[in-house]
Amino acid sequence: MNQGVLEQGVDLQSHNTLRLPGQARWFARITDPDLLPELLEWADSQQLPVQVLGGGSNVVLCSDIHGVVLGIAIRECHWQVLDEDQAILTLGAGENWDTVVRYAASIGYRGLENLALIPGTVGAAPIQNIGAYGRDLSDVFESLDAWDRQQARFRTLGPEECNFGYRDSLFKRDPERFIIVRVRVRLSRSAPFRLDYGELAREVADHADLQQELTPEAIADTVSRIRLAKLPDPAVLPNAGSFFKNPVVDQATGEALRQQFPGLVAHPDPGGLKLAAGWLIEQCGWKGHREAHVGVHSKQALVLIHHGNGTGAELLALAGRIREDVRARFGVTLEIEPRLIGNEG
Ligand code: FAD
Ligand code: EPU
């Protein structure tokens, strides 16, 4: 057992963007996939639960972690050029997502630009199939390599096996099983841009200069500008992005809601209608709400904030009251988006 990678009693506050308090009994920084088999065997022999962590931007830390936290820091980046147009970019799970988006865009490859400025690591991107401004990871996903704890071996999984959906995947449904070490995306020099998402479409329409020189970099800049205007910087106001998923209701329920609430913000979805949870929460009066340690962002009601000295339990209590109000007023149940880790997880 390589004791070098293991630390005991590590403070996790700086390892989660909500800056919630908690300690890891054991913490191992994983820089090389080959460290995993022995480490996991050791954890199993000690009957210690294992929690994987990337940048901590989509978790709610509810308590100390009594097992082993694996901090994924695997670095790798290389290209396989397929032809004049397409290339496959292979990335270590510990690479920073936004750095990769910027890098690919800077050399003219398209496909990642709408996903600029999403915090976190490459290895976490498939977990909830990250998405923004009309694009999801699954649009460019090629394959990934992961350690399968059930089969005790490294496996390569393609898009079919990953079962991606809206903020959903195989990994979200079976969270203990896979540790992703490497992700491949297929990028193109000429694929059409996706510019039809409401706010992005408006920004492009308003900027003649942008229309004249549409590059992946220019689009990544535009998306970043939109995001910075309404999403709080976790370094200033600790948060985990959207706290709830946008709920999907069947067509009949959606139409009935539209009749009753003419201002309802909703978009067609294969399952019926996808409702804007931020709108539902705002209608219930929660936008900008502040209590001692936690609150709701004043520019985006879907984002809950930790103002400091609070706990995961306080944040979840606030989330529970918001859910109750939305359910009572609209008959719609909101599902929490980030992963709860620790005792509540
Ligand atoms: P973590 O928070 O560390 O982990 C999240 C989950 O993934 C955990 O369950 C963890 O166990 C698991 N995990 C992490 N790495 C691995 C791995 N290598 N193998 C197996 N499991 C792993 N998300 C969007 O989809 N779209 C957005 O527009 C968006 N905007 C955001 C804006 C802000 C300001 C913030 C704070 C968050 C936002 N998010 C968004 C959520 C978050 O950035 C993404 O979910 C991101 O992919 C999380 O990466 P991470 O490395 O921080 O993951
Ligand atoms: N809205 C309100 N009030 C609010 C917030 C939103 O009325 O306080 C309404 C507005 O009409 C707005 C619409 O909701 O036009 C949609 O808002 P926005 O474009 O901000 O997107 P969202 O649906 O709230 C989703 C993702 C974000 C992603 C953006 C952009 C989910 C759960 N969230 O938010 O992802 O960045 O779209 O594509 O799907 C995340 O997952 O952490 C995240 C930030």
Mean pLDDT of 281-306: 98
d(CA 189, CA 308): 45
Are residues 202 and 289 both part of a single domain? no
- DSSP type of residue 218: H
Q: Are 335 and 171 in contact (CB under 8 A)?
A: no
Q: Could you report the per-residue pLDDT of 209-238, keeping only the tens digit for each?
A: 888 889 999 999 999 999 999 999 999 999
Q: Compute CA 314 distance to the chain's CA centroid, rounded to the nearest angstrom.
A: 22
Phi, then psi, of 329 in degrees rounded to 5: -80, -40
The residue from 167, 182, 186, 227 that is catalytic is: 167
Mean pLDDT of 258-265: 97
- Say yes or no to pLDDT of 345 above 60: no
d(CA 48, CA 172): 21
278 by DSSP, 3-state: which?
A: helix
Q: Compute CA 271 distance to the chain's CA centroid, rounded to the nearest angstrom.
A: 22
Please provide the average confidence, as pLDDT, over all residues in the chain: 96
Residue 94 binned pLDDT confidence (cut-offs 50, 70, 90): very high
- Say yes or no to pLDDT of 91 above 80: yes
Last residue of a domain, one of 202, 229, 256: 229
Last residue of a domain, one of 54, 72, 90: 72
Mean pLDDT of 4-10: 91
- DSSP type of residue 47: T
Q: Could you report the per-residue pLDDT of 31-57, keeping only the tens digit for each?
A: 999 999 999 999 999 999 999 999 999
pLDDT for 274 equals 98
Does the CB atom of residue 132 touch ligand 2 within 6 A?
Answer: yes
Are residues 37 and 101 both part of a single domain? no
103: domain CATH number?
Answer: 3.30.465.10
Q: Could you report the per-residue pLDDT of 53-90, keeping only the tens digit for each?
A: 999 999 999 999 999 999 999 999 999 999 999 999 99
d(CA 256, CA 147): 46
pLDDT for 211 equals 87
Does the CB atom of residue 337 touch ligand 2 within 6 A?
Answer: yes
d(CA 234, CA 129): 21
240 by DSSP, 3-state: which?
A: strand
Please state the domain count of the chain: 3
CA–centroid distance, residue 214 to ligand 1 (Å): 29
287: domain CATH number?
Answer: 3.90.78.10
Q: Which residues sit opposite 30 in a β-bridge?
A: 72
* The ligand 2 atom nearest the CA atom of 230: 20
CA distances, 297 to each of 16, 282, 306 (Å): 18, 10, 10
Catalytic residue flag (residue 138): no
pLDDT for 343 equals 82
- Say yes or no to pLDDT of 285 above 60: yes
Catalytic residue flag (residue 242): yes
pLDDT for 212 equals 87
- The helix or strand, by DSSP H or E, that contains position 57, with its residue range, turns out to be none
77 CB neighbour count, 10 Å cutoff: 14
Q: Are 178 and 127 in contact (CB under 8 A)?
A: no
pLDDT for 168 equals 97
- Say yes or no to pLDDT of 202 above 90: yes
CA–centroid distance, residue 142 to ligand 2 (Å): 27
Are residues 258 and 324 both part of a single domain? yes
Are residues 113 and 141 both part of a single domain? yes
Q: Which residues sit opposite 91 in a β-bridge?
A: 77, 183
Tell me which residue of 217, 338, 327, 222 sits closest to 283, measured CA to CA: 327
On whether the pTM is more than 0.85, the answer is: yes
Q: Could you report the per-residue pLDDT of 171-199, keeping only the tens digit for each?
A: 999 999 999 999 999 999 999 999 999 99
Are residues 98 and 159 both part of a single domain? yes
23-30 vs 339-341, strand pairing mode: unpaired
Does the CB atom of residue 264 touch ligand 2 within 6 A?
Answer: no
* The ligand 2 atom nearest the CA atom of 297: 8
| Burial class (CB within 10 angstroms; exposed 0-12, middle 13-18, buried 19+) of 151 | exposed
Percentage of residues in the chain with pLDDT exceeding 70?
A: 98
Could you give the count of Cα atoms lying within 13 Å of 234 in the half-sphere of its Cβ?
21
55: domain CATH number?
Answer: 3.30.43.10
Are residues 63 and 82 both part of a single domain? no
The residue from 95, 182, 337, 339 that is catalytic is: 337
Containing structural domain, residue 262: 232-341
- Say yes or no to pLDDT of 344 above 60: no
pLDDT for 3 equals 62
Mean pLDDT of 158-168: 98
